[in-house]
């Protein structure tokens, strides 16, 4: 009986060792896969946290005065305004504003280390520089109406004036002759047509310029928010804390992690 028990025990022992080896290999593979997933998740988090493209895209659409509207599937998406005459900035104005914003809203700013005085100084410089460039080239960056647009506005005002004359005659129970009313109005406006068109152009330009304060306030708020994220290196500090937590959970060597994310 003992002669059969010894080979049996040896076979069982070998089977057990083989099973443990397979389990150890599977566990190692699972650990390696989990570690890879955690590293990929960390990388995606860092890229998403430092990605400024979504903010810059929103600024671009706001400067062009696009509107958010639901599509056929009910998902909000940017659409151009139907009446392009309502746009405040020219294409050159939008491009210039975007160049300025890209200089302040970027990964380098987020990963900086600013104190309160530095943020205040940079915001003052930004405010003065943006105001100055707009003031010096407002006629380039802000849209002025074309002659055809001024003509359409003048025709609307003439029609409004004819309507007021008609209503006045109706109130006084007098005969209303629209052809006569239009003829009188044209005689009144004829010597002043060029003056009125120029006046309309100046008025519409001033209306567009009144939007500058709001545009400036919105841009300044976004730049300030970006700088506040870099207050005392808080942005890179938050990334570092997340990586340390993932390091503890994943059991990755600390020295290797420091080497990998040394730029923070």
CB–CB of 162/182 below 8 Å?
A: yes
pLDDT in tens, 143-168: 999 999 999 999 999 999 999 999 99
Q: Within a domain: residue 4? A: no
Whether this prediction's pTM lies above 0.85 is answered by no
Query: Domain for residue 264, yes or no?
Result: no
Position 39 in a domain: no
Rounded distance between C-alpha atoms, residue 244 and residue 260, angstroms? 12
The pLDDT of residue 217 is above 70? yes
What is the pLDDT at residue 254?
Answer: 46
What digits encode the pLDDT tens for the residues 183-214?
999 999 989 999 999 999 999 999 999 999 99
The set of residues, in sequence order, having a beta carbon less than 8 Å from that of 240 and lying 6+ positions away, is: 261, 264
pLDDT-derived band at 109, boundaries 50, 70, 90: confident
- Domain holding 86, by residue range, is 51-232
Q: Say which residue the tokens 């290999």 belong to.
A: 25
User: Under 8 Å CB-to-CB from 66, ≥6 apart: which residues?
Assistant: 78, 79, 80, 81
147 within a domain of the structure (yes/no): yes
pLDDT of residue 117: 93
Residue 148 lies in a domain: yes
Domain tally for the chain?
1
Predicted local confidence at residue 245, as pLDDT = 47
Note the pLDDT of residue 155: 93
The stretch 131-148 carries a mean pLDDT of 91
Helices (H) and strands (E) in the chain, counts: 12, 2
Check: CB of residue 209 under 8 Å from CB of residue 142. yes
Task: Judge whether 213 lies within some domain.
Answer: yes
Question: Which residues lie below 8 Å from residue 115, measured CB to CB, with a gap of 6+?
Answer: 231, 232
Q: What confidence category does residue 174 fall into, taking pLDDT thresholds of 50, 70 and 90?
A: confident
- Domain-embedded: residue 26: no
> pLDDT category, 124, cuts 50, 70, 90?
very high
The token pair at 218 is 């919105």
How is residue 191 annotated by DSSP?
G
- Distance, in Å, from the CA atom of 15 to the CA atom of 242, rounded to the nearest integer, reads 43
- Region 243-255: mean pLDDT is 49
Give the mean pLDDT of 229-255.
59
**Strand partners for 76:** 70
* CA atoms lying within 13 Å on the CB side of residue 59: 26
Total Cβ atoms within 10 A of residue 254? 10
- Residue 120 included in any domain: yes
Of residues 260 and 108, the one with the higher pLDDT is: 108
Confidence of residue 259 (pLDDT cuts 50, 70, 90): very low
pLDDT in tens, 23-68: 556 655 555 555 545 555 455 555 666 788 888 999 999 999 998 8
Report pLDDT for 19. Answer: 58
């Amino acid at each position: 009986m003992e002669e059969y028990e010894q080979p049996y025990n040896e076979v069982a022992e070998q089977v057990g060792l083989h099973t443990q080896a397979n389990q150890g290999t599977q566990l190692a593979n699972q650990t390696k896969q989990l570690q890879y997933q955690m590293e990929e998740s960390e990388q995606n988090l860092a890229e998403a946290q430092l990605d400024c493209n979504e903010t810059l895209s929103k600024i671009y659409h706001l400067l062009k005065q696009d509107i958010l509207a639901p599509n056929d599937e009910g998902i909000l998406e940017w659409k151009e305004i139907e009446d392009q005459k309502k746009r405040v900035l020219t294409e050159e104005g939008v491009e210039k504003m975007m160049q300025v914003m890209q200089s302040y809203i970027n990964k380098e700013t987020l990963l900086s280390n600013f104190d309160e005085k530095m943020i205040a100084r940079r915001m003052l410089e930004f405010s003065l520089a943006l105001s100055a460039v707009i003031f010096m080239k407002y006629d380039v960056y802000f849209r002025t109406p074309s002659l055809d647009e001024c003509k359409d506005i003048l025709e609307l005002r003439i029609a409004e004036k004819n309507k007021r004359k008609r209503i006045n005659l109706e109130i006084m129970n007098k005969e209303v002759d629209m052809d006569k009313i239009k003829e009188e109005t044209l005689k009144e406006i004829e010597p002043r047509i060029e003056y009125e068109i120029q006046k309309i152009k100046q008025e519409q330009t001033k209306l567009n310029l009144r939007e500058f304060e709001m545009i400036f306030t919105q841009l300044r708020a976004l730049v300030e928010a970006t700088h506040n994220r870099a207050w005392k290196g808080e942005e890179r500090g938050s990334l570092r804390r997340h990586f340390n937590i993932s390091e503890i959970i994943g059991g990755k060597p600390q020295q290797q992690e420091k080497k990998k994310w040394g730029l923070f």
